Amino acid sequence: MNGITKKQLFRRPDEGMIKGVCAGLAHYFDIPVRLVRIIVVLSMFFGLFMLTIVAYAILAYWLEPAPAGAEGSDSAAMPPGRQLDVLEMQLKDSEQHLRRVERYVTSETFGLRNRFRHL
């Protein structure tokens, strides 16, 4: 082999909204899932409703679900859009934690405990 890995197209039901077809396409083409979903919705609005529904149904039936150890399970193999989603969730969690710490540090309880420590 020459070191080139062959990509395979899978459905990703764990990341998808209906059957995981859009998520699978996004992973295959390394683009954000939201972009694929927007393209699908826009194609439905601009006269390709039946073609889009038929194509989605065929792909949902034809594509196999991604195996448990499939590419994209660790952060190094994640597409950039998915990485941004994960980082956004981590940032929100960190911000909530920081707000709780700030609330405690500015509370009267913290001030009182701090004064007792200095006695």
The residues spanned by each domain of the chain are 7-74, 79-119
CA dist list (Å): 81 to 30, 43, 99: 8, 21, 27
Each residue's pLDDT tens digit, 29-47: 888 888 888 888 888 888 8
Whether the Cβ atoms of residue 24 and residue 66 lie closer than 8 Å to each other = yes
User: What are the respective helix, strand and coil percentages of the chain, to the nearest 5?
Assistant: 65, 0, 35
- The pLDDT value recorded for residue 72 is 47
Residue 73: predicted pLDDT: 46
Distance CA 40, CA 63 (A): 17
Q: pLDDT value at position 97? A: 86
pLDDT value of residue 87: 82
Q: What is the pLDDT of residue 101?
A: 86
Question: Residue 20: which of 33, 31, 29 has the closest Cα?
Answer: 33
CA 21 – CA 24 distance, rounded (Å) = 5
Whether the model clears a pTM of 0.75, i.e. scores above it, the answer is no
pLDDT-flagged residues of the chain (< 50): 1-3, 72-75
